[in-house]
Structure 1
Amino acid sequence: MIKKVAAALLAMMALWPAVSAASPVTVKLKGDGLKDFSAYEMDGSFYTAPVVLTKGNRWKVTWDSDKLYVLVTPKGMTSEERVEIPYTEINGGKYVDFSYFSEPAGLTYIYKDKKKELSVQKIKSGKVRKEKKENTMDLSRRPLVLWDVNFSYPMESGGFENLSGNHILSPSIGSYEDMEKGTCKWNFSYLKQAKDHGLSVMPLIHNDFEVKKTASFMRDQKRQDHVISTMTAVGEVYGLYGYNMDFENMDPKDRDLYTSFMGKLSRPLHENSMKLTADITVYNAGSPTWSLCYDREALSAYCDYEIIMGYDETPRTSKYAGSVSSYSWLDKNIPILTAMVPPEKLILGLPFYTRIYSGNPGYMTSKTLAMKDEDSLLRRTHAKPVWQPDARQYTLTWRERGILHRVYLEEEKSLSAKVQLLSRYNLAGLAFWRHGFETSDVYEKMEGKGEKKVAEG
């Protein structure tokens, strides 16, 4: 039975239908059964009639209430799913971005500019593009994940790309319940720009950090199957790198159920050349719902990577000031994790934020401070940064109106020290929480380029 798995999932796209500023140029279509169809080149992309996407024998197309869908049965799945895709109106007709969707649809093409001719053919069986293996010894291939909560990364900036590696953007699209209901937020323009700039996209899906609702989901096979089928279909149609699963605050009694769910999810994703990553905390025996809820060793059999959330060493609710992510804390905890998970499957997540703790020790409260706002704090307080060798961070201490304030700064020197843990423990790559908190030059400075801003005290 066809499921309307993504009708609303993509309804929040900015391009429905898309309107381009450039004038379309008519091109001739060449290929079996294509001579009667129109095609256009516009803004560097080719647009064809939606039916052309069916020529790869992977998809069907259908319309419903002026919305365009492709019907697809991904490898490893038994049900046909319906996924909405955007279209663009050109000269009174409705066309799809063939440049974007051709490969997922099983098609390849060659364009001859002089003849204005677009030759389309089906990708031959056995000619599937081989994925480059990510080699942590080769810095150009190590996975680098930038969580981009609001789809706001400026593709033209080149900031993130200044760090050597395989660049993966991870926007937050919603929870597993949003995936069920088709209410995930999305943005086709973002996906297209990422592809044009050689960036992969791996959406983040969370569990709202709700223990009881997650427990119910973990006991409902039908709901899980629906979510897995939806994720796989959407991932295939939009050519996603894979998914990042950010399930936190779960009942430790559900640990094996979560592992089982991830195992079921991994199979169709892998069969369709997508990655599966899971966010994990450091091991803490005193934190059942935030740490003991993961069977890290068992998850490693299914996940391509487990991403260490290397932050909140000192939590928001702490009554004492401390580091969000000190070098010494990570250095102590990473070996515990590598005893459970092969190091080549671990990605180290680092923070682009810290916290200002205020009040008397034992009664402190805190607020988040983005790394990009630290310079203005330094100018305003005139406080002198003091280097802490063990934490490998600067601390800043000052008083306002008699109230004590203390913060462990996160800046390029602190982050550079933590980056060195990759080679120390042979970890796979890096992740950063999150875009919008960083300074514009932090990526290049983490690799020793540029000048340091903070003078050691």
Structure 2
Amino acid sequence: MLKKLTAAVLLTLALPAAVSAAGPVPVKMKGGDFKNFNAYEVDGTFYTAPVVLTKGGKWKLSWEKDKLYVYLTPAAMKKEEKVEIPYKELEGNRYVDFSFFSRSAGLSYTYKPKKKELTVEKIKEKKEKDKKKEAAPRPLVLWDINYFFKNENSDFASLSGTHILAPTIGSYQDVEDNKYSWNFDYLKRARQAGMEVMPLIHNDFEVKRTSLFMHDTKRQENFISKIAALSEVYGLYGYNVDFENMDPKDRDLFTDFMKNLSQPLHGAGKKLTVDITVYNAGSPTWSLCYDREKLSEFCDYEIIMGYDETPRTSPYAGSVSSYSWLDRSIQKLTAMVPPEKLILGLPFYTRIYEGNPGHMKSKVLAMKDQEALMNKYRLKPIWQPDAKQYTLTWRQGGILHRTYLEEEKSLRAKLELEKNYNLAGLAFWRYGFEKPGIFGVLERKDDRQ
């Protein structure tokens, strides 16, 4: 993960009462507890009176100063939580998005368009022994820090597997202060595109403040209860925990925190993933702060941050993610963590290092901007067999510049490591850095080198 999420924009809780839509179509509701309610269809979405959502037996609702809240006790938790949900004004009354929230509220429905009939019933929970356990499709995670992803602008869906968007919700402190980033329309678009949403939560990469949080079980309990409720109400896939730069003395406390977080999430059928660096004995706060073996007992997946081989502050130029480095790193990690619990995270960026060796400074170069750079300076890339990457070296204003490119050939080489080590899936840092059409190229199995 990049060391600071400086580009993240707090959207705050984007849940205003929407402007009335033109031409809502009345829909007749059917089913034992629903005959006396009315509904509307707007652009393929069904809206009902908020009270309908209480009929699933999972939620209570309350209005507070023109805001609508769901009250529920998350799985495996003791404390009742409240979560705000949006509403829409139709025909002078307030309605909720039944299409989106019905399943989370414990309801299912069928619709007969010719008769304009919406039949609703309470979902019958299956007993554990009756639940069929099927192999989960390969997880594919796309970090999208600013909630910008739009399916029509990306070929992410061309990869085969479960497509998971990971926007940044903020830090644990943001959640505690109710200042986290949120976007309901984004959740709707993702669902309509058949994609899951797994928000990323970070620790601001602050050692001392994170240590205080790790030693405060009451704060952790309140935080866990809060985000567990949010995941249940909004039907999230789960969460991606990106805690970095921690005191290695707090390693076991972090493991306990993840264990406690896993209980309500797994109790509600959600997933828990944690981002881990490659193993580096010389980096205590960035690498030795994780008990990777123990974390695998409570997390569904550990996502390998397969980049930052040469860090931003390095005085020498180097690769962000060379094949040989990543290969060696995965070998070490699979000795600690079952490979089926490891997701390989790959970069859509590189770094340009400039200056004299030993005194170089760097800046990020997104994959999408590499071709323009080569054209501007008429650069010819040179293939490095060991790194399985092209390099560029040039002088600009008399100053030496060097970079290791990330493009189709280098990424397809690294993708082979997923197969070679039987890893669970892939992740990509990050949306907005990629070259258009890259996912379709990566999906092709032919011609790999």
Which residue matches 1:103?
103
Asked if structure 2 preserves the Cα contact closer than 8 Å seen for 1:81 and 1:233, the reply is yes
TM-score (norm: length of structure 1): 0.93
Asked if structure 1 preserves the Cα contact closer than 8 Å seen for 2:379 and 2:394, the reply is yes
Does residue 143 (structure 1) correspond to residue 144 (structure 2)? The answer is no
Structure 2 vs 1, CA of residues 418 and 11 (structure 1 numbering), >3 Å: closer, same or farther?
closer
- Show the 5 A alignment for 1:439-450: 439-448=435-444
Question: For 1:360, which of 356, 359, 367 is the aligned residue?
Answer: 356
Question: For 2:301, which of 283, 305, 313 is the aligned residue?
Answer: 305
| Aligned residue identity for 1:330 | L
Does residue 42 (structure 1) correspond to residue 42 (structure 2)? The answer is yes
Structure 2 vs 1, CA of residues 93 and 31 (structure 1 numbering), >3 Å: closer, same or farther?
same
Give SS of 1:301's match. Answer: helix
Give SS of 2:371's match. Answer: helix
Which residue matches 1:5?
none
- Show the 5 A alignment for 1:419-434: 419-434=415-430
Q: Give the distance between the partners of 1:25 and 1:433, measured in 2 at CA.
A: 42
Unaligned runs of 5+ in 2: 1-9
Cα deviations by residue, 1:110-129 (Å, 9 ceiling, x for unpaired): 11112111111101132799
Q: Give the distance between the partners of 1:196 and 1:442, measured in 2 at CA.
A: 23
Does residue 263 (structure 1) correspond to residue 277 (structure 2)? The answer is no
Asked if structure 1 preserves the Cα contact closer than 8 Å seen for 2:15 and 2:85, the reply is no
Does residue 27 (structure 1) correspond to residue 27 (structure 2)? The answer is yes
Cα deviations by residue, 1:223-255 (Å, 9 ceiling, x for unpaired): 000011011100000000000000000000000
Asked if structure 1 preserves the Cα contact closer than 8 Å seen for 2:21 and 2:90, the reply is no
Deviation at 1:182, TM superposition (A): 1.4
- Show the 5 A alignment for 1:353-392: 353-392=349-388
Which residue matches 1:192?
188
Give SS of 2:185's match. Answer: helix
Which residue matches 2:414?
418
| Aligned residue identity for 2:356 | N
Q: Give the distance between the partners of 1:419 and 1:22, measured in 2 at CA.
A: 48
Does residue 177 (structure 1) correspond to residue 173 (structure 2)? The answer is yes
Give SS of 2:145's match. Answer: coil
Q: Percent identity between the aligned chains?
A: 66
Unaligned runs of 5+ in 1: 1-9, 136-140
| Aligned residue identity for 2:81 | E
Does residue 253 (structure 1) correspond to residue 252 (structure 2)? The answer is no
Structure 2 vs 1, CA of residues 301 and 70 (structure 1 numbering), >3 Å: closer, same or farther?
same
| Aligned residue identity for 2:192 | D
Asked if structure 1 preserves the Cα contact closer than 8 Å seen for 2:348 and 2:434, the reply is yes
Which residue matches 1:73?
73
Q: Give the distance between the partners of 1:43 and 1:74, measured in 2 at CA.
A: 32
Asked if structure 1 preserves the Cα contact closer than 8 Å seen for 2:20 and 2:90, the reply is no
Q: Give the distance between the partners of 2:264 and 2:286, measured in 1 at CA.
A: 28
Asked if structure 2 preserves the Cα contact closer than 8 Å seen for 1:444 and 1:450, the reply is no
Give SS of 1:341's match. Answer: coil
RMSD between superposed Cα atoms in Å: 1.9
Asked if structure 2 preserves the Cα contact closer than 8 Å seen for 1:350 and 1:433, the reply is yes
Question: For 1:277, which of 273, 279, 299 is the aligned residue?
Answer: 273
Question: For 1:235, which of 231, 238, 246 is the aligned residue?
Answer: 231
Structure 2 vs 1, CA of residues 339 and 408 (structure 1 numbering), >3 Å: closer, same or farther?
same
Q: Give the distance between the partners of 2:380 and 2:247, measured in 1 at CA.
A: 44
Cα deviations by residue, 1:5-62 (Å, 9 ceiling, x for unpaired): xxxxx98344511236552100011123323322100111100000000000000110
Aligned residues: 439
Which residue matches 1:210?
206
Give SS of 1:380's match. Answer: helix
Q: Give the distance between the partners of 1:312 and 1:163, measured in 2 at CA.
A: 25
| Aligned residue identity for 1:360 | N
Structure 2 vs 1, CA of residues 146 and 36 (structure 1 numbering), >3 Å: closer, same or farther?
same
Structure 2 vs 1, CA of residues 127 and 22 (structure 1 numbering), >3 Å: closer, same or farther?
farther
Asked if structure 1 preserves the Cα contact closer than 8 Å seen for 2:20 and 2:89, the reply is no
Question: For 2:342, which of 346, 354, 360 is the aligned residue?
Answer: 346
Does residue 88 (structure 1) correspond to residue 88 (structure 2)? The answer is yes
Q: Give the distance between the partners of 2:175 and 2:132, measured in 1 at CA.
A: 27
Structure 2 vs 1, CA of residues 86 and 229 (structure 1 numbering), >3 Å: closer, same or farther?
same
Asked if structure 2 preserves the Cα contact closer than 8 Å seen for 1:325 and 1:351, the reply is yes
| Aligned residue identity for 2:399 | I
